[in-house]
Chains A and B, each alone.
Chain A
Amino acid sequence: MINAKNANYLQIDHKVKNIFGLEGVIVLPSLQAWLKFAWTRPYFTKKPKEGYFVWVKKQTDFPLATCLTIASPKVSQNLTNLMVIEKNIKAKANVICNAAKNNLYGSHRAQGKLILKEGASLEYDHFHKWGQKDFVSPDYEFILGKDSSLVYNYQNLLPPKQVSLKTTIHAGENASVNMNFVFQGRNNSKIDIYDVLHLEGENSQGIVKLRLVGKEKSQISAKSSIMAKAAGKGHLDCQGLLVDKGSKISLMPELICHNKKAQLTHEASIGKISEEELNYLRMRGLSEKEAIDLIVSGFLKQ
């Protein structure tokens, strides 16, 4: 986890608190990028109001870090983010979106576009941590050029009351994608996940892994799709774990194939905590809650 004070881009409510690039890395508020670099405009659907622009032009040894925080009551963020990784550059990004307190009734809407040019690779770790009363709606799109690779790890262990997460990935020729989503519902939260991986280039490939935990009367609905237009390979691995009676998980894996040479597979299951594992851990001296927490943490790491 990053220290927000050292983030390349730190925005609290609507104010940019911290912004700095590295050698070969330009970091700007999105609006400035829109004004300064005309080439970025097609990537923004409209003139951005707030959010960040990160342009990685040269290899950097340091991971990039961005942090978008809601710290005041009833703030409504409407972010447009753009990250561009140039040809053959390897980059790592740690991204945090969070609320500083529990009951701020904040709204966080984010539209993000990430462009990986030919041969580029990106490891993108995205952490969400929200207060119970917030509303969160991120919509991210990744465009992967030829021979590029993406590892996208998204983790949300403290979701808000309502979250709607949309992720779209377009994989070009020989591009590879490894996407891991970890969600833990809690305290009546309502979580809607929709992700789609488009295999658009020859030999593009991707693995999409979802790990969902339903507890404390949370409702999780996840639709995960792989669509193959080219001769690529894709695999969906969706697993849900229901911890208590009032929670609900809906899993909808979807494979759509337009190319007879494509190979798409999926596995999906929803289970409950194993009574045997629970008894075993309790016989190691753990309380029921400690045992459940340990089993859940293990499930999320699989």
Chain B
Amino acid sequence: MSKLLKIKNLHVKGNGKEILKGFDLEMERGQIQALLGPNASGKSTLAQAILGNSKYKVTKGSILFCGKEIKRLSPEKRVKLGLALSWQSPPAIKGVKLSRLLEKISKNRNNTEMIEHLLDREVNLDFSGGEKKAAELAQILALNPKLVIFDEIDSGLDLKKTETVAKTIKKLLLDRKVSVLLITHSGTILNFLKPDITNVIVDGRVICQEKDFRKVLRSIKRYGYDKCKKCKLSSN
């Protein structure tokens, strides 16, 4: 059986500048992986490039999803194949209520309990950080995906809220065998979701892959991202 996601030697440009410089990643079905990295290492670019954001141009390499090359597909076609992205900073869509967007993207109105109070509000307009993440999650669930990429879902959340978000992800996605790629700067959420593999990205490439996320977190805490290249884990 083919891998769920196989990214090979991916080079991506944004605003004329090369951001991803030979990125590799493989994911199995039902797996949860983490991608840690410092600011401007290419984490969000990767997420947007996988989903086909027109702002980012794939100049080299491949993105195979369920064995199919998707790098030339439109974002909506990638979504229909089963990919979904929870945005780090989702834009406001003025004049469009969240309930209307949910109706548009899915006829299935399940899982709106956690966002009942947001349904009559304009999408992401004046939402708090927590509300944005809840709205993102509700939209993701409406898409019924095979693989969800969470871009900094834990940023700006306190420990308690991070735990709540992690529990929701576990209950609504992981327990249903949906695969998850967690992109995180701080790594706090990993303590609650316990990824199968943790990757570290520095300067547009994966420099470290490790099964024990605690080891990676400890190493980063000790050496910082700047010294990641030199640490023992990265040579594994």
Contacts and interface: CB of A to CB of B under 8 A. Distances in A.
B79 A280 contact: no
B105 interface: yes
The interface centre, meaning the residue of A288, A297, A298 with most chain B CB atoms within 10 A of its CB, is A298
A280 B231 CA distance: 38
9 shortest interchain CB distances as A-B pairs: A298-B95, A298-B96, A301-B95, A282-B75, A285-B79, A302-B95, A284-B105, A276-B91, A283-B75
Contact of B96 (A275, A276, A279, A295): A295
Interface string B90-114: 1101111000110011000000000
A282 B91 CA distance: 13
Interface of B: 48, 51-55, 74-76, 78-80, 84-85, 87, 90-91, 93-96, 100-101, 104-105, 122, 139, 143
Given A286-B104, A286-B105, A294-B101, A279 B75 contact: yes
B80 A282 contact: no
B93 A283 contact: no
B147 to A, nearest CB: 13
Contacts of B96: 294-295, 297-298, 301
Contacts of A300: 95
Contacts of A283: 51-53, 75-76, 78-79, 84-85, 87
- Chain A interface, DSSP helix/strand/loop, else mixed: helix
Given A275-B55, A294-B101, A285 B76 contact: yes
The interface centre, meaning the residue of B85, B95, B139 with most chain A CB atoms within 10 A of its CB, is B95
A280 B84 CA distance: 11
Contacts of A281: 93, 101
A75 B107 CA distance: 44
A300 B80 CA distance: 29
B77 to A, nearest CB: 9
Contacts of B54: 275, 279
Interface string A258-279: 0000000000000000111101
A282 B94 contact: no
A244 interface: no
Given A280-B93, A302-B95, A294 B74 contact: no
B95 A284 contact: no
Contacts of A288: 74, 76
B150 to A, nearest CB: 13
Contact of B101 (A275, A284, A299): A284
A287 B80 CA distance: 11
A122 to B, nearest CB: 26
28 contacts: A276-B91, A279-B48, A279-B54, A279-B75, A280-B87, A280-B91, A281-B93, A282-B52, A283-B52, A283-B53, A283-B78, A283-B84, A284-B79, A284-B143, A285-B79, A285-B105, A286-B76, A287-B76, A288-B76, A294-B96, A294-B100, A294-B101, A297-B95, A298-B94, A298-B95, A299-B95, A301-B95, A302-B94
